Amino acid sequence: MHVILSAILLALAILDIVIGTGFLIDPVNSGADFGLTIASTHGESTLRGDMTAFFWVTGISMIWGAWKRRGDVMLPALGLFGIAFLGRFINVVAQGPYDGWLVPMGVEGLHCIVIIIAMRAWGWPKASA
């Protein structure tokens, strides 16, 4: 169980690191994959910095959590993906669904479910007295 859970987390983390690296190297094409267009150098900088940070932080915290089998270090990834899922959900309710809306919500939901399962399985380290 723990090995399979670690493997799933690592696979998702590698996906996140690859996506984040895509934003770092080529924010124009990576942004287009997410339905974003760049209007200025400011926008390109924002995609390069913010989207890389989002995906690298989630990926690194999931890799660390899977490696050490610690649920607490995956809290940043859960928070980021949980808020992203909530934002998309609110948008679907407020604006209605759009073509392809289910895939990103599914990926974010999958991340959240796997992270929550890992946090429950591995828990939090005990504080030393």
Q: Whole-structure pTM over 0.85, yes or no? A: yes
Q: Is the dihedral of CA 17, 19, 22, 28 positive or negative?
A: negative
- Each residue of 47-105: pLDDT tens digit? 999 999 999 999 999 999 999 999 999 999 999 999 999 999 999 999 999 999 999 99
DSSP state of 127: P
Would you say residue 27 has pLDDT above 60? Answer: yes
pLDDT for 108 beyond 90: yes
Spans of all domains in the chain: 2-122
Gap between the Cα atoms of 78 and 14, Å rounded: 16
Whole-number pLDDT of residue 124: 81
- 6-15 pLDDT, tens digit each: 999 999 999 9
